[in-house]
Amino acid sequence: MSRIAFVGCGGIQQVHYQRLAQIDDVEFVGQCDVDLSCAERAAQEHGGAPFDRPEVMYDAVKPDAVFIAVPPYAHGPAEMAAIERGIPMFIEKPVALDKRTARSIARAVSKARLLCSVAYCFRYHDTVRAARQFLKGRPICLVSAEWRGGLPQTWWWRRMECSGGQFVEQTTHLVDLIRYLCGDVAEVYAVGSSGCMTALPDYSVHDSSVASLRLKNGAVASVASTCVSEHESRVALHILTPEASVTFSDGRVAIREDGQITERLPQADIYLAEDRAFIYALRSGKRSGIRSTYADALKTFLVTAAANESMQSGLPVRV
Ligand SMILES: NC(=O)c1ccc[n+]([C@@H]2O[C@H](COP(=O)([O-])OP(=O)(O)OC[C@H]3O[C@@H](n4cnc5c(N)ncnc54)[C@H](O)[C@@H]3O)[C@@H](O)[C@H]2O)c1
């Protein structure tokens, strides 16, 4: 039996409750939220005892692992308390809001050699796996990425000091995919715009941004993001090599080579796949199924933080 506790009982955690319930021998033992009423509701609906402080929950229920899904500004205490107690962690992206918190968690995870998986769920698409295989060893020339969608409704998302803005909070999935498929990022130059969402009184994130990335292998990438596109959403990535191209679009992958296009539709439930991989690693000690470790997710976070720094300074930022 795997005894699982939860920190943050909001939107995305509902997805994990549902997916974990599909895995044999998983028991929910603790629910923790700063808003105790959320923890109580989760406890009633999904099981486990409610708490409003992670360290109290860890000591009371002694879980085998914890799923941490809090807004970017709230990362740190739940992770450090889990690491001190040797509790393996599944953490929602992005790993933090600031570099100091992310780096100190990364150091502590590495020192403790703790199992830790970060929820870069796109990596669990079977289509992405096929694209990665296809691109292996091929030179990358040009990458173009786009995240177009509406403004998420949680109160903290629209505040820069809570979410880090769209690039850190959302576009991070695409930056991570670029890193996973094409290689690490060396430098970022980004610009942002704001002022289109005039009906919203309390927002401070950019409406839209464009970032240029220089990869360590010499390739270049452009990443355009907007959260002012309620009417039209798209999450897509196009990768060009000298002989072929790969297009990722909302889970689908199309590979064009020698004038032929092979299209693959996503088959896997990516949330179930990432949860299964974590539970398998927890039980077996074999971590090879984890597609994003904390150290890897830190690298993605540092690229997005560099983009924010560049938007602010107007200068390119080395990662
Ligand atoms: N991988 C994905 O596809 C995906 C999808 C949605 C959200 N997310 C990520 O999950 C995280 C949470 O997003 P959400 O949509 O669930 O937000 P949410 O606001 O719906 O839920 C967050 C919960 O955390 C609680 N909380 C805040 N600070 C806390 C603390 N210090 N300790 C304990 N609980 C705390 C809040 O009270 C709230 O109930 C975000 O970082 C987001 O990027 C990932």
Sorted by where each starts, the structural domains of the chain and their CATH numbers stand as 2-120+271-290 (3.40.50.720), 122-267+301-318 (3.30.360.10)
pLDDT at 86: 98
| Ligand 1 touching residue 8 (CB < 6 A) | yes
pLDDT at 76: 98
Report the separation in Å between the CA atom of 72 and the middle of ligand 1, taken as the mean of its atom positions. Answer: 8
Could you check whether the bond before residue 94 is cis, i.e. omega within 30 degrees of 0?
Answer: yes
Q: Mean pLDDT, the chain, as a whole number?
A: 97
Tell me if 66 CB under 6 Å of ligand 1: no
Ligand 1: centre distance to CA 164 (Å) = 14
Where b means 16+ CB within 10 Å and e means fewer, 105-125 reads bbebbeebebbbbbbbbbbbb
| pLDDT at 198 exceeding the cut of 80 | no
Mutate which of 68, 73, 92, 235 for ligand 1? The one with the most ligand atoms within 8 Å of its CB, which is 92
The pLDDT value given to residue 199? 76
Which residue among 16, 19, 70 has the greatest number of ligand 1 atoms within 8 angstroms of its CB, and so is best to mutate? 70
Alpha helices, DSSP H, located in the chain: 11-20, 36-46, 54-61, 77-84, 99-112, 126-135, 160-163, 165-169, 172-182, 270-284, 294-313
Which residue CA neighbors atom 14 of ligand 1 most closely?
11
Position 33 scores a pLDDT of 98
Predicted model pTM = 0.98
Mean of the pLDDT values across residues 155-184?
97
Task: Collect all residues with Cβ–Cβ distance below 8 Å to 10 and sequence separation of at least 6.
Answer: 33, 38, 69, 154
pLDDT for residue 171 is more than 80: yes
261 C-alpha to center of ligand 1: Å? 39
| Ligand 1 neighbourhood includes 70 CB (under 6 angstroms) | yes
Q: How far is the CA of 4 from the centre of ligand 1 (A)?
A: 17
Report DSSP state, residue 139.
P
> Which protein residue has the closest C-alpha to ligand 1 atom 3?
121
Q: Which residue do the tokens 């939107």 mark? A: 11
Whether 186 lines ligand 1, by a CB cut-off of 6 Å, is no
CA 159 to ligand 1 center in whole angstroms: 14
Does ligand 1 have an atom closer than 6 angstroms to the CB of 12? yes
Q: Which of 169, 143, 126 is nearest to 270 (CA)?
A: 126
User: Which token pair is 126?
Assistant: 């079977």
Residue nearest to atom 39 of ligand 1 (CA): 10
pLDDT, position 96: 98
Tokens found for residue 238: 């196009």
Q: Give residue 83 CA to ligand 1 midpoint distance, Å.
A: 20
294 vs 112: CA distance, rounded Å: 12
> Pocket of ligand 1, candidates 33, 57, 79, 170: which has the most ligand atoms within 8 Å of its Cβ, to mutate?
33
pLDDT tens digit string along 265-280? 999 999 999 999 999 9
Q: Are strands 220-226 and 208-215 parallel, antiparallel or unpaired?
A: antiparallel
Nearest CA owner, ligand 1 atom 24: 8
Q: In this predicted structure, what is the pLDDT of residue 135?
A: 98
* Sign of CA pseudo-dihedral 195, 201, 206, 208: negative
